[in-house]
Amino acid sequence: MGYNFVFTDADIMWFRDPFPRFHHDADFQIACDHFMGSSYDLENIPNGGFNFINRVLKFWYSSQEVYPGYHDQDVLNFIKVDPFIIDIGLEMRFLDTNYYFDPNIVRNLISTSVKQLLTYARNYLADLLETCINRVIYLDSDLVVVDDISKLWSPSLGSRTI
């Protein structure tokens, strides 16, 4: 048994509803920084910022003891082909982040040396969001607000983006 849950980093921005893209037959699903074209391809490079998890969490975290000093995403890359995963019949799928974010929208706005355009998406919200949205307050996940946030909403900015 256990629980089904969605884990997402605090700095994830949703540009589309992810639930229709979930594979209902998969136990573990994770977004990919480098999607190889198939949700089944173990060569996909996962990004731990967004997961739909059913059964693998305990094994993943206990495997960090086997790979000390590695980031949890690196550990997942090691264990995704582990015999244990195969033995328990875990169905793993990889989610293409391009469904949630079209990198072509900002490709000409960001240096060609940057490989992960989604990392800088928050800087281009004015270009990414629907035109009916006339104001957004983006707060980074490590920011502490100690006053009324509505004060950020009130000032007239005209057509300027800050």
CA 113, 116, 120, 121 torsion-angle sign: positive
Question: Token digits for 153?
Answer: 């909403």
Which pLDDT tens digits describe the chain residue by residue (162 residues)? Answer: 455 667 777 666 677 777 887 887 787 888 877 788 898 898 888 876 666 665 667 788 889 899 999 988 888 888 888 898 888 888 888 887 766 666 677 667 766 666 666 666 777 777 777 778 778 777 776 778 888 888 888 888 777 666
**Rounded distance between C-alpha atoms, residue 16 and residue 31, angstroms:** 14
Question: Token digits for 69?
Answer: 């000093």
Q: For residues 79-116, b (16+ Cβ closer than 10 Å) or e, as one string?
A: bbeeeebeeeebbbbbbbbeebbeeeebeeebeeeeee
Q: pTM for this structure? A: 0.56
**Rounded distance between C-alpha atoms, residue 10 and residue 17, angstroms:** 16
